[in-house]
């Protein structure tokens, strides 16, 4: 699993020009699932993301987590995070999990994320989405399985 984490002030997810979900200050997660992933890795990612200290404290130091600031999390599936661009001009996606497997792991991840008590919004798995966001920083981090 590979998750791109962006610190944001707001997120609006559109499908077919209609806003399907919105969130405020917090995190936007782009979630990539690989062929060798399974549900056993979910607790690691939930703990890492919800406790990652990437928001400024009163002194301007990154010292607070999304939980500390009472922030939101928007989650979007993103199979292209496992694109192989090393050869040619067209990316290969053989390392991305097939849709059935990815959907199962993605849904389990979202369920676990919602159990944290943080306000969670999400995109629609496999849908073509337009994501409007306001980056805060910008501050962007990649979290991968250990």
Question: Which residues are identified as catalytic?
Answer: 78-80
Q: What is the 3-state secondary structure (H, E, C) of 70-85?
A: CCEEEEEECHHHHCEC
Angle at 103 between CA 97 and CA 107, to 5 degrees: 130
- Specify whether the CB–CB gap between 2 and 136 falls below 8 A: no
CA distance 30 to 6: 8
């Amino acid at each position: 699993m590979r998750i791109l984490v962006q610190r944001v002030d707001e997120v609006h997810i559109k499908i077919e020009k209609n806003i399907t979900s919105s969130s405020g200050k917090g995190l936007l997660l782009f979630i990539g699932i690989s062929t060798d992933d399974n549900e056993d890795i979910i607790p690691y990612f939930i703990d890492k993301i919800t406790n990652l200290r990437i928001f400024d404290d009163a002194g301007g130091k990154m010292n607070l987590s999304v939980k500390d600031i009472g922030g939101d999390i928007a989650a979007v599936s993103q199979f292209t995070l496992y694109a192989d661009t090393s050869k040619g001009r067209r990316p290969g996606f053989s390392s991305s999990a097939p849709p059935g497997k990815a959907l199962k792991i993605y849904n389990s991840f979202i369920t676990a994320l919602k159990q944290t008590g943080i306000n969670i919004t999400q995109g629609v798995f496999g849908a073509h989405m337009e994501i409007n966001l306001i980056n805060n920083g910008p501050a962007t981090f990649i979290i991968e399985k250990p």
